Amino acid sequence: MREIRVIGAGLAGCEAAWQIANRGIPVVLMEMKPEKMSPAHHSPLFAELVCSNSLRSDRIFNAVGLLKEEMRCLNSLIMRCADENRVPAGGALAVDRVGFSKSVTDAIRQHPLIRLEEGEVTSIPDGIALIAAGPLASDALCDAIAKLENVGTLNFYDAAAPIVTKASIDMSKVFRASRYDRDGGADYLNCPMNRETYFRFVDALVHAETAEIHGFEERHVFEGCMPVESMAKRGPMTLAYGPLKPAGLKKHVTEPLFANVQLRQDDAGDTMYNIVGFQTRLKFPEQKRVFGMIPGLENAEFVRYGVMHRNTFLHSPGFLSPQFEVLSRPGLFFAGQITGVEGYVESAASGLYAGICAAKRAQDLPLPDFTRKTALGALGAYVSSPNSDFQPMNITFSLMEGTVERIKDKVKRAQAVADRAILEINRVKQEFDLEGKL
């Protein structure tokens, strides 16, 4: 059988290659690293996590938690490696970012049906192919994509939060706790702020010097990655009701808690912590100065400063099908953030869906439709449905088909949606023979 070419060894590309190869079809995985690196990438490893180390909630009655469980049902490589490299994060699934990427890289390199081809891709391959080059695809590949019929591309800005060493945190000023003591209740480091400290910090933040980014406009920033200084400029209390809210933590302190900064473990060795919600485009010296005003971080050593970069995504409605296949060119698939899904899990999920469909296309078999009863199918429906104001989107229950039952309790209603989704995943899995194990 002729091999399928997959462009990009990020989360989506690795997942897609894995799904295709596990169905007995040879894969050529094409990756420009380490020969050429994008502005956001630093490691030669595959599936590099360039922003947070969190894959968000792992509770099945949360939409992204449900999506992860659906992926586990379909033998997801990304979920297997994430589960193996989990670090404490309360009800969220966070990973040791290096350990996670190494696990994915090893699995891909050791697969007998996956062959690696290093170097920049400048044209779209003939035959069945899958493009998962990510939102930072090279200019040459973007030029080739732009020549496809009805493509339409858009841009938005994404950002990463800084990481500090645990040894440099003043532990006498912080406390361990998760909001409302969830899941044992001690997975985050918390930097408490009183009213005076908070407003002094906000004032310094809004007046700090930012790095200039060509073409940067606030309206082109994805809300989930809004720079912390941009949020602060919306009003002095915005952060106190956002990433610095003290909810569920006040019982752990004796002094008045007006706001709180949380730090999440970033590696399995418990030596590095990222500042939750602190995506930023402040200049590096300004990050050290302003974030050093946070109690406990006065002498923080920064392993990585926060950065911001431009992402590119397709105007997928009218260009892609619900299976992430190009409507005007059957056999060509896209996956990952370039399709307009937002988030690590959503990117990997699109790679899983597109990879399965590419394999089915190569076998001249019908493509599965996971339907909007599932989170996976809802992502495909979102990127392919008419939408004049198409923007990157995380998975939410609102994208899914509602339950028939009228359940008033929010958690029970979400659980009913999740239960139905898993049943639907297993139905489609059986109907289309999606076991996917070589």
Distance between CA atoms of residues 9 and 30, nearest Å:
7
Specify which residues 129 forms β-bridges with. 5, 332
Distance between CA atoms of residues 229 and 244, nearest Å:
13
pLDDT at 246: 95
For residue 102, CA distances in Å to 68, 207, 269 come to 20, 40, 15
pLDDT at 404: 55
Residue by residue, DSSP assigns 110-177 as H-TTEEEEES---SPPSSSEEE---TT--HHHHHHHHTSTT--EEEEEEEE--EEEGGGS-TTS-EE-
pLDDT at 115: 98
Q: What string of pLDDT tens digits covers the 438 residues of the chain? A: 789 999 999 999 999 999 999 999 999 999 988 777 665 666 889 999 988 899 999 998 899 999 999 999 999 999 999 999 999 998 899 999 999 999 999 999 999 999 999 999 999 999 999 999 877 788 889 889 989 998 887 677 777 889 999 999 999 999 999 988 876 678 999 999 999 999 999 999 999 999 876 555 555 555 567 889 999 999 999 999 999 999 999 999 988 999 999 999 999 999 999 999 999 999 999 999 999 999 999 999 998 898 887 778 899 999 999 999 999 999 999 999 999 998 999 999 999 999 999 999 999 999 999 999 999 999 999 999 998 778 788 898 889 987 556 777 888 888 999 999 999 999 999 999 998 665
List of residues 6+ apart from 41 with CB closer than 8 A: 33, 48, 50, 136
Task: State whether the Cα torsion 230-231-234-237 is positive or negative.
Answer: negative
Q: Determine how many CB atoms are found less than 10 A away from the CB of residue 116.
A: 14
Q: What is the pTM of this model?
A: 0.82
Characterise 144 by phi-psi region: left (phi > 0), alpha (psi -120 to 50), beta (else). alpha
Q: Determine how many CB atoms are found less than 10 A away from the CB of residue 234.
A: 13
- Cα 30–Cα 266–Cα 393 angle in degrees, nearest 5: 60
The structural domains of the chain, ordered by start, are 4-152+315-431 (3.50.50.60), 160-309 (2.40.30.260)
* Token pair for 28: 């050529």
List of residues 6+ apart from 133 with CB closer than 8 A: 7, 8, 10, 13, 121, 141, 336, 338
pLDDT at 39: 59
Task: State whether the Cα torsion 80-44-213-12 is positive or negative.
Answer: negative
Q: Determine how many CB atoms are found less than 10 A away from the CB of residue 417.
A: 23
Nearest to 251 by CA among 300, 354, 187, 178: 178
Question: 196: exposed, middle or buried (C-beta count within 10 Å: 0-12, 13-18, 19+)?
Answer: exposed
Distance between CA atoms of residues 358 and 355, nearest Å:
5
Q: 322-325: list long-range contacts, CB under 8 Å, 24+ apart.
A: 322/369, 322/377, 322/380, 322/381, 322/383, 322/384, 323/353, 323/354, 323/357, 323/367, 323/368, 323/369, 323/380, 324/350, 324/353, 324/354, 324/357, 324/380, 324/383, 325/354, 325/357, 325/361, 325/367
Distance between CA atoms of residues 242 and 13, nearest Å:
33
pLDDT at 431: 95
